[in-house]
Amino acid sequence: MSWHKNDILGDRPCLNKQEIEAYIQKSLSQTQRFSVENHLLDCPLCDAAIDGYVNNTDALLENQSVLHKSRKLIYLVAATLLMLLGATAFFNYQSHNQPDRTFTQYYEKPSWNTQTRGSDKTTTYSDAVQLYNEGQHQAAIEAFEPLLETNSEDNQLRLYKGVAHLESSQYAKAENEFTVVRVNSELFFEEATWYLAMLNIKLDQKQEAISYLEELINLENGFFNSKAREIKKRLQN
């Protein structure tokens, strides 16, 4: 931008964009500013241009401020949603995994000694028991089935067949075997009830599990009495 002394007193052309910006930003010298203001007194067109430029600049700044605030609000909302989603996911994870943790803590596969109940067993029977103890559960189930066809009242064998089904994630079959034992055997009633409780915990069926646990709690001198009390309290929390 070039300035001459005669610009101050004489007629000068209208302001260009650079001059308007320099005037508004107050970057002109005193002499230059006087020249511009003197021109504005006699030029409504440039005066209107100055006003328009100032108003547009203010609007732009205002829009930028609103945009900045909107962005901050969006970031705040997004952060809040992430926190809520995280808390919900954690709660769901805790709730979903509680049955598995309880099952893992309290469940223990029983080993099977054929002499425990003082019964004489055939070699075939002993082979089936060995398969069970070695963790070959499907093979053990297949070995148990013909034995139960021969002697359907062998509730000990049926109980361990139920455990083998449970270990193989064959939950409906496990429930069936344990239920039959509960109904037909006073001797194995408590064990069958315990494994039914464990099964229902595994399946996250809390009310059913608690119902079986309460039966065990009512057996004051029962082997599973104290554990049943612990698990019931845990499930109800």
Domain definitions of the chain by residue range: 1-96, 107-236
Is 67 or 80 the better-scoring residue by pLDDT? 80
Output the pLDDT for position 69: 63
CATH superfamily, region 107-236: Tetratricopeptide repeat domain (1.25.40.10)
Q: 157 near 148, Cβ under 8 Å?
A: yes
Q: How many CB atoms neighbour CB 198 within 10 A?
A: 24
Query: Which phi and psi angles does 163 have, rounded to 5°?
Result: -60, -40
Q: Which residues contact 130 (CB under 8 A, 6 or more apart)?
A: none
Mean pLDDT confidence for 150-176: 95
Distance, in Å, from the CA atom of 25 to the CA atom of 47, rounded to the nearest integer, reads: 15
Output the pLDDT for position 212: 96
Specify which of 14-23, 69-78, 168-177 reaches the highest per-range mean pLDDT: 168-177
Is 147 or 55 the better-scoring residue by pLDDT? 147
Return the H-helix or E-strand segment holding 196: helix 189-202
Is 178 or 42 the better-scoring residue by pLDDT? 178
**pTM of the shown model:** 0.58
Return the H-helix or E-strand segment holding 89: helix 44-106
From its phi and psi, is residue 164 left (phi > 0), alpha (psi between -120 and 50) or beta?
A: alpha
Query: Which phi and psi angles does 71 have, rounded to 5°?
Result: -65, -40
- pLDDT at 216 exceeding the cut of 90: yes
- pLDDT at 107 exceeding the cut of 80: yes
- pLDDT at 146 exceeding the cut of 60: yes
When pLDDT is cut at 50, 70 and 90, the band that residue 117 belongs to is very low
Share of the chain above pLDDT 90, in %: 43
* Helix segments in 107-188, DSSP class H: 123-133, 137-150, 155-167, 171-184
Q: 184 near 153, Cβ under 8 Å?
A: yes
Nearest to 46 by CA among 58, 35, 59: 35
